[in-house]
A and B are shown apart, each in its own frame.
Chain A
Amino acid sequence: GNSVTQMEGPVTLSEEAFLTINCTYTATGYPSLFWYVQYPGEGLQLLLKATKADDKGSNKGFEATYRKETTSFHLEKGSVQVSDSAVYFCALTGGGNKLTFGTGTQLKVEL
């Protein structure tokens, strides 16, 4: 079946540091890939998505590229802010509409 593996957290960074959160997946066919973010006490918000190989999703300074050869969709941001502190979930849809999520990676950004 489909699965998503994310790097374990928490990830603690200083403000303006570079962020990478690794995500790899297993799926049949050609899934769509997503990053969702969950701020404390809130629901899930779509951060970005990519629907085919080599697509780059981007939003609010975050980027992720759909790499079929390495089955990866790593999340990056050049300069994080304290307000980026949240839990980030990598997810995919494939062979149906349900989202399969990774375990989530908590990001803490300090001044």
Chain B
Amino acid sequence: DSGVTQTPKHLITATGQRVTLRCSPRSGDLSVYWYQQSLDQGLQFLIQYYNGEERAKGNILERFSAQQFPDLHSELNLSSLELGDSALYFCASSVEPLVKSDTQYFGPGTRLTVL
């Protein structure tokens, strides 16, 4: 158990809908990362937050957005869902991303299926 929690574990929805994925980082970690794992794209970095502020952006679609709240939990919002958005979404957290040896610890993931 990494200490990172994600809810829900599974999500099934229809095209065009909007969903919210939730992540709670390990105790003491200030930074949260979101990754998408799909069969065709592999593991791709989406976005990073540090202490409530966006720190880095990767291959995140405009239909997707995220935020980190004052209690440090984070939510990833996916809207106007398409079939191709079906994937496993991981959240990771770390203590101090400015330190080179900083390690990211991953949650169990949310499996999103868009029908």
Binding site for B on A (CB under 8 A): 30, 32, 34, 36, 42-46, 49, 51, 89, 91, 93, 96-104
Contacts and interface: CB of A to CB of B under 8 A. Distances in A.
Interface of B: 2, 31, 33, 35, 42-43, 45, 48, 55-56, 58, 90, 92, 94, 97, 100-109
A46 B105 contact: yes
A90 to B, nearest CB: 11
A97 B103 contact: no
A51 B101 contact: yes
- State the 3 A-B residue pairs at the shortest beta-carbon distance, nearest first: A98-B45, A101-B43, A97-B97
Contact of B103 (A43, A49, A104): A49
Contacts of B33: 97-99
Contacts of B43: 89, 91, 99, 101, 104
Contacts of B94: 97
Given A32-B100, A32-B101, A51-B100, A97 B55 contact: yes
B101 A98 contact: no
B6 to A, nearest CB: 8
B101 A101 contact: no
B108 A97 contact: no
Given A45-B2, A46-B103, A46-B105, A101 B55 contact: no
B58 A98 contact: yes
A31 B92 CA distance: 19
5 contacts: A36-B106, A43-B108, A49-B103, A97-B55, A101-B42
* Most B Cβ at <10 Å: residue of A32, A43, A51, A103: A43
Given A32-B101, A34-B103, A51-B100, 7 more contacts: A43-B106, A43-B108, A44-B92, A44-B106, A45-B106, A46-B106, A98-B45
Contact of A99 (B31, B35, B107): B35
A49 B101 contact: yes
B35 to A, nearest CB: 7
B102 to A, nearest CB: 7
